[in-house]
């Protein structure tokens, strides 16, 4: 009896730790990331799908598959995945960010702005949405809002010329020509080989 219990415990531990060669949902998600980096987008989608089959409530797999589908220009499927990721994990700030991009592409600027704002509320140190929201505010002629967002985007990434160029555009629109010129010079400096 004791040997049977011991055997069952070892069998359980081996199965739980994947020693029998079973790939976990998290491992499929990680493989998807590697495949994406190697531009194997179909393989990345397939691995995310396998992760979801193994663990249907794995929000990260839905979010990543949505991101990959966005990269493949499969916007409808990407939106479905990102919606599901947010439903499963309402604190997934990257899912909100990427859904915001999709909404912007679909000309839903209000929805995009709401998603980027939500991403920033969840994770204030996540700076990508500040640039996108800043550019959107610039297009909507909310120059002060654009300057504030673009300044926030520049703080952690002071080497990105595009950020300075967009902020210079906003400064120029409000008549702050010295600040616009300084940003244009900084961008030119950053673009030198």
**What ranges in the chain are assigned the alpha helix state H?**
2-16, 25-37, 41-54, 59-71, 75-88, 93-105, 109-122, 128-139, 143-154, 161-173, 177-191
Q: What is the pLDDT of residue 21?
A: 63
Domain 26-125 class? mainly alpha
Q: What is the pLDDT of residue 106?
A: 94
- What's the pLDDT tens digit per position in 163-186? 999 999 999 999 999 999 999 999
pTM over 0.85? The answer is: no
Residues of the chain with pLDDT below 50 are 5-19
Q: Which fold has domain 127-193?
A: 1.25.40
Q: What is the pLDDT of residue 22?
A: 85
Q: What is the pLDDT of residue 193?
A: 87
Q: What is the pLDDT of residue 20?
A: 53
Question: Which residues in the chain are classed under CATH 1.25.40.10?
Answer: 26-125, 127-193
């Amino acid at each position: 009896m004791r040997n049977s219990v011991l055997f069952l415990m070892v069998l359980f531990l081996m199965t739980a730790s994947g020693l029998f060669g079973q790939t976990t949902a998290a491992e499929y998600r990680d493989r998807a990331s590697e495949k994406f980096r190697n531009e194997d987008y179909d393989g990345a989608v397939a691995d995310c799908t396998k992760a979801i089959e193994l663990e249907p409530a794995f929000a990260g797999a839905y979010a990543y598959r949505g991101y990959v589908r966005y990269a493949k220009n499969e916007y409808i499927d990407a939106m479905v995945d990102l919606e599901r990721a947010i439903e499963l994990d309402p604190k997934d700030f990257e899912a909100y960010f990427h859904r915001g991009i999709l909404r912007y592409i679909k000309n839903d600027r209000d929805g995009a702005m709401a998603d980027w704002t939500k991403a920033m509320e969840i994770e204030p140190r996540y700076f990508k949405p500040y640039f996108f929201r800043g550019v959107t505010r610039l297009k909507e002629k909310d120059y002060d809002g654009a300057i504030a967002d673009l300044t926030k985007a520049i703080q952690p990434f002071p080497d990105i010329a595009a950020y300075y160029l967009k902020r210079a555009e906003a400064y120029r629109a409000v008549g702050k020509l010295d600040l616009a010129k300084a940003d244009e010079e900084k961008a030119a400096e950053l673009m030198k080989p």
